[in-house]
Amino acid sequence: MVVTRFAPSPTGDLHIGGVRTALYCWLHARQHQGTFRLRIEDTDRERSTEASTQVILDGLNWLGLHHDGEIVYQSQRFDAYNAIIDEMIARGQAYYCWCSPEELDAMREEQKRLGLPQRYNGKYRDGGEPVPGVTPAVRFKNPLEGSVTWHDKVRGVVTVNNSELDDWVIRRSDGAPTYNFCVVVDDAAAKVSLVIRGEDHVSNTPKQINLYRALGYDVPDFAHVPMILGDDGKRLSKRHGATNVLDYRREGYLPPAILNYLVRLGWAHGDQEIFSMDEMLQFFRIEDVHSAASTFNTEKLRWLNQHYMKEATPADLLPQLLPHFAPLGIAPDEAVVLGAIPHYQERAKTLKEMAENMAWLFQAPQSFPPDAAKKAFKGADTVRLLQDLQSRIETLTVVNEETLHDAVAACVEANGVGFGKVGQPARLAITGGAPSPDLAVTLSLLDKAEILRRLQFAAEYIQQNHG
Ligand code: GLU
């Protein structure tokens, strides 16, 4: 049975790199009819917050990376961890260490001075007198001899000598079990078959494998996926722009674009760039994930997003697009937005841009960008042409793309001018300069009264400002 898990620490945002790990875990589980578990690693009570847990849940839910079964919260499992630690002490697999923080600091300083690796010197490994006033930590008796080897699905064979490891702390003196301990207990309890996580955990893995063995648990397989870098070659962080996946939702990216982008970041299938979810499930293989770091490229993400925006149906886009009007101070008419979407799918790379490009539908121009106005409103007969168009539209009983097209054509013809003489000022009058489709389509997105108001306003504006 394949079991994977995503085990974020709720101490901040849901990092885009974490989402990639979650996606790989999810894909691997789904491909093998396995189980994908979610565990919130909130043992650090000071840094863990409920808000951050909520961000993680919202982010995964938004992307459709649904987990199986109950969420495990490590903060609710202290009793289970402590029971195992106590058993290990009783069996002589772990021991109390009475070293004070000062003593440990001094130990490290001394090792540094001598040019030795800095690690615990095993002082209490074979027992020792309790020190009054010190609450002991508990350390794991790491094997002194031999080595730990695992076949990492991404990195290949990794071997670490036990002489490079020390007797690490499994319960701190404040009573809190440590990350490396809880992770092993929980992964074993959940029967995780493959641990997929960031490369920053590679150094923890030999310690964890030793603990699995000490506890008689089956050792899972491991796949450590490389870091994601910013364009300067440094690990991707806020300095490079948004790293919280919910920022990408706010910026107007679509879930399939994010998932498609992330699956390709560190993995390839020939030179294919676009992957539907079905194709990801068909082709992804954790063994094919590159071991070298990959660089985040916002332009490529935008390109993919545009692809998925073009591919989506207007009805699919509508509910995702609507929230992007609120930051613009617009409460849009849904039917109007729905009607406009097909005309904007080619033009915008994000939903946010799409909403911005559509704002003119709900916000009549109050003035006009000077450069555009200079060009479009300059003709001596512009006011007369706009008024002529206005009166032609006024007489329409049926207002749609076709009748509006005919009204514009009739205006152009009757006045013996080129199309641009009418089209340019009319378009500016209607949209205030926003990107817009074909003029007849643009006009048809508004109702008749609104078209007339805007043409009238522009004519008056020209008389006042360009007369
Ligand atoms: N909680 C760890 C983190 O957020 C993940 C640990 C793991 O996957 O083993 O980095």
Instruction: Find the distance separating the first CA and the last CA of the chain, reported in whole Å.
Output: 79
| Tens of pLDDT, residues 428-459 | 999 999 999 999 999 999 999 999 999 999 99
The per-residue pLDDT for 238 is 86
Asked if residues 119 and 152 have their Cβ atoms less than 8 Å apart, the reply is: no
Assess whether the C-beta atom of 428 lies below 6 angstroms from ligand 1.
no
The per-residue pLDDT for 231 is 86
Ligand 1 center–CA 183 separation, angstroms: 8
d(CA 443, CA 436): 10
Ligand 1 center–CA 197 separation, angstroms: 7
Share of the chain above pLDDT 70, in %: 100
Assess whether the C-beta atom of 7 lies below 6 angstroms from ligand 1.
yes
Asked if residues 190 and 72 have their Cβ atoms less than 8 Å apart, the reply is: yes
| Average pLDDT over every residue of 2-22 | 96
The per-residue pLDDT for 337 is 98
| Average pLDDT over every residue of 230-248 | 90
pLDDT band at 76 (very low <50, low <70, confident <90, very high): very high
Q: Is the pLDDT of residue 242 over 90?
A: no
| Tens of pLDDT, residues 331-359 | 999 999 999 999 999 989 999 999 999 99
Share of the chain above pLDDT 90, in %: 94
Residue 414 phi, psi dihedral angles, 5° rounding: -60, -30
Ligand 1 center–CA 426 separation, angstroms: 58
Assess whether the C-beta atom of 201 lies below 6 angstroms from ligand 1.
yes
- What's the token pair of residue 167? 């007797």
Q: List all residues 6 or more positions away from 282 whose beta carbon is below 8 Å from its beta carbon.
A: none
Assess whether the C-beta atom of 224 lies below 6 angstroms from ligand 1.
no
Asked if residues 267 and 260 have their Cβ atoms less than 8 Å apart, the reply is: no
Assess whether the C-beta atom of 223 lies below 6 angstroms from ligand 1.
no
pTM of the model: 0.93
- What's the token pair of residue 178? 């440590």
d(CA 377, CA 373): 5
| Tens of pLDDT, residues 29-67 | 999 999 999 999 998 889 999 999 999 999 999 999 999
Assess whether the C-beta atom of 206 lies below 6 angstroms from ligand 1.
no
| Tens of pLDDT, residues 153-201 | 999 999 999 999 999 999 999 999 999 999 999 999 999 999 999 999 9
Nearest CA to ligand 1 atom 6: 7
Short-list 55, 48, 61, 62, CA closest to 10: 48
Nearest CA to ligand 1 atom 4: 8
Residue 153 among the catalytic residues: no
| Tens of pLDDT, residues 412-428 | 999 999 999 999 999 99
Ligand 1 center–CA 224 separation, angstroms: 11
| Average pLDDT over every residue of 308-327 | 98
Pocket perturbation via mutation, ligand 1, pick of 6, 9, 180, 219 by most ligand atoms within 8 A of CB: 9
The per-residue pLDDT for 467 is 57
Residue 98 phi, psi dihedral angles, 5° rounding: -95, 10
From the candidates 238, 310, 374, 375, give the one annotated as an active-site residue: 238
| Phi-psi map region of 156: left, alpha, beta (phi>0 left; psi -120 to 50 alpha) | left
Alpha helices in 359-415 (DSSP H): 370-376, 382-394, 401-415
Ligand 1 center–CA 78 separation, angstroms: 18
